[in-house]
Structures are given as structure tokens and as C-alpha cells.
A and B are shown apart, each in its own frame.
Chain A
Amino acid sequence: MADTLRSSGWAYRGGVLVRAVAAIGGGYGVSALWAAAIATWLPAPKVEAALTGTLIALVVYPCAIMWCFAARSAVRAWVGLALVAILPVCALALHGGAA
């Protein structure tokens, strides 16, 4: 399998790099957003909310990484991440606005 990809040369390597950045960096960003959003919005004692957000983020991250390499193109990888980021960004913005 890797042989057929290797024949693409720099296109292949570029694609891998874009996906890797999306996975490692973008994935982390999305997970962090979810951690903060869940912590902020969960109706529970502060300790509970903070822990819940953190634990869930640790599950989101590997899923985001896998998505970035499963997506049919490098662009789709980023689009997928962006879609998953919409909800927590809105949630955090709402909370920031209300505060």
C-alpha cells in the first residue's frame, strides 16, 4: 500500500504533512475547545465540570487524529475539524458574552 503512495512523491509528502499538522495541532485545539466548553456549561460543581471536560477532551483528541488520516483528502481533514469546533466556540463565546 505504501508503495503506491510513495510514487506520488512530494504530493504524498505534502498531504501527509498537512494531515499531521491538522491531526496533532488542529486536533489538540479542538479537544481544548471542548474541554473548556464542557467545563463552562456543565451544570455541576466546579470540580466535577472541570474534570468532565478534561476527560472528554482526552477521548476527542485521538478520534480527531484518526479522522484527519481517514478523511478522503487533506482539505477534508481540516474541514471536519472546523465543523467539530463550531459548537464549543459558540458555547464559549456565549458564556464570555454573558459574563
Chain B
Amino acid sequence: MSTWQATMAALTALAAAVAGFAALSLAVDRHWEALHGRGSDPGPLRRRLQGGGSAGLLVSLLACIALKGSAQGWVAWAGMLTAGAFVVVLMSTYAPAKVPPLAKAMAGVALVAGLLAAL
């Protein structure tokens, strides 16, 4: 794997983790309410947020395994999850309104970087 591919794979892993956790955070009542007001409920959107969020974490795992192989890949994934979750915690605390755009932007980054890594 060339340095360029490796960098793109790592970027995919990180961006997908951030996007995934951002989506998952919005499925939690507290953080949804921070955006849409007390008492509001994501409703059917909750399932989709959870599904999409988990999918993001899975993409992150695949990128890590592609990057470091099957053993070190899991270790790298754990680290990426930690880093991604921290980003989302900071965002949710200090700029909660920016969490949905962050999720979308990071999903886009993950997609582009993933394609660049695969080519």
C-alpha cells in the first residue's frame, strides 16, 4: 500500500468514525433535544440514525483492516473510535448545532477518501 493510499485509508477510518458517532449521538434524547427543544423526539428517525451511525463505524473498521491487516486493524479501529468519539463529544458540548452538518461533511470526506484509497 502506497503512502497516499495509506493516508486516504486512515482518513476514511477517522472520518467514518466521526460521522458514525455524530449520527449515534443524535439518536440519544439529550443531544437531540439540545437541537430541537425539550420534549422533542427523533421518532422514526432514531432507528435510521442508529443504523447509519453503526454503518459509519463499520466502514471505519473496514478501512482500518485494509490499512493494517486483520490483527493490527482491530487495534487501530479501537483507537479511531476513541478519537472519533472525542471529537463528537467536544462538538456536542461546545457547538451542538454543528453536529448534523459535521456528520454529513465527515460522511462525504469518508466517501471521497475511501474511493481515492481504493483506486
A–B touch (CB < 8 A): the answer is no
Instruction: Give me the interface of B with A, judged by CB distance under 8 Å.
Output: none
